[in-house]
């Protein structure tokens, strides 16, 4: 990760800590679980996409903070719920016990619920000077759409229904366009909206970029599940295969999955080529997604 992207990630951590409810205020256990879910590390990929997109339009980070915080809080809530026994039933996340292992299932469910609500509250706060009400409403719509049945929740439903099934490549892509891709596309769109972008051709180019990056992110995840190290990636390795879940390596083969990852990365870079030097951070992120080891 480049120094600029590391700075973005550090800034995201600072903004997230400010947005979360104080640990000293009741209900104490719920607030502890919320902090545990959000502040336990992670790549901050979605805030990085917000900041990188905004930087392509020279927007200051403070103008982008609400969008970056909201999308990462949604991501954190989704991980808490995905790890539950009724979902993916995982005990390790980001190198430590998952939220329900640490706090119990009931408190983990409540923490996820509260985080989802907090994300939308953050977007309504007057923290980003210069963002008008119409744009703020559109940002709320974009985030809500990415979370629902046509986005992340729908993708998880496809995922649960696919266990033990033989999907083809198109069906697998549809699942991940919903489950992983929707929130990644929303991150880029939110960054553009917060930065004041109204140029439809640029918005469409950014959406093509985000679509490719979202699929590339999932393919790299699937590859790491096959050949990664649990100590490095911070979660259980080989669990998808053990649970008979459809993955890119299982359907395409490992070598073809790597080739498809490279192709998607090139397509992402091509989509933002017209942006020139202003899209440097977006290019760095696309390469990071393809090469990451965790």
DSSP calls for 177-212: IIIIIHHHHHHHHHHHHHTT---HHHHHHHHHHHHH
- pLDDT of 129 > 70? The answer is no
Residue 41: pLDDT band (50, 70, 90) is confident
Number of structural domains the chain divides into: 1
Domain that holds residue 267: 3-291
Q: What is the pLDDT of residue 114?
A: 98
- 239 has a pLDDT exceeding 70: no
pLDDT at 78 over 60: yes
Share of the chain above pLDDT 70, in %: 93
- Rounded to whole angstroms, the Cα distance separating 258 from 293 reads 14
Helix boundaries (H) for the chain: 3-19, 28-38, 45-55, 61-82, 99-103, 105-124, 133-147, 152-162, 169-176, 182-194, 200-227, 230-233, 239-242, 248-252, 254-271, 280-291
What pLDDT was estimated at residue 40? 86
Confidence at 99, pLDDT banded by 50, 70, 90: very high
What is the domain-level CATH number for residue 183?
1.10.600.10
> How would residue 231 be classed by pLDDT, with cut points 50, 70 and 90?
low
* pLDDT tens figures, 140-181: 999 999 999 999 999 999 999 888 888 899 999 999 999 999
Average pLDDT over residues 13-41: 96
Q: Is the pLDDT reported for residue 11 higher than 90?
A: yes
What value, to the nearest 5°, has the Cα angle with vertex 203 and ends 159 and 291?
55
**pLDDT given at position 77:** 98
């Amino acid at each position: 990760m480049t120094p600029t992207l590391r700075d973005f990630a550090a800034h995201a951590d600072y903004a997230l800590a400010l947005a979360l409810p104080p640990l000293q205020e009741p209900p104490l256990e719920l607030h502890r679980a919320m902090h545990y879910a959000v502040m336990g590390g992670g790549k901050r990929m979605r805030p990085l996409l917000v900041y990188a997109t905004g930087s392509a339009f020279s927007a200051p980070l403070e103008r982008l903070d609400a969008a970056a915080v909201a999308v990462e809080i949604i991501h954190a809530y989704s991980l808490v719920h995905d790890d539950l026994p009724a979902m993916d039933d995982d005990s390790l996340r980001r190198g430590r016990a998952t939220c329900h292992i640490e706090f119990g299932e009931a408190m983990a469910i409540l923490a996820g619920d509260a985080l989802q609500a907090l994300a939308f509250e953050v977007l309504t706060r007057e923290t980003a000077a210069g963002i008008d009400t119409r744009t703020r409403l559109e940002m709320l719509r974009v985030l809500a759409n990415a979370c629902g049945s046509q986005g992340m929740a729908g993708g998880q439903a496809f995922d649960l229904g696919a266990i033990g099934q033989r999907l083809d490549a198109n069906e697998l892509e549809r699942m991940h366009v919903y489950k992983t891709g929707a929130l990644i596309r929303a991150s880029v769109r939110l960054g553009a909206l917060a930065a004041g972008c109204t140029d439809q051709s640029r918005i469409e180019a950014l959406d093509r970029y985000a679509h490719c990056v979202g699929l590339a992110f999932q393919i790299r995840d699937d590859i790491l599940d096959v050949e990664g190290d649990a100590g490095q990636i911070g979660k259980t390795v080989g669990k998808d295969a053990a649970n008979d879940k459809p993955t890119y390596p299982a359907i395409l083969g490992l070598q073809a999955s790597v080739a498809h990852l490279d192709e998607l990365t090139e397509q992402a870079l091509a989509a933002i080529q017209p942006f020139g030097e202003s899209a440097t951070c977006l290019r760095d992120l696309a390469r990071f997604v393809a090469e990451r080891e965790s």
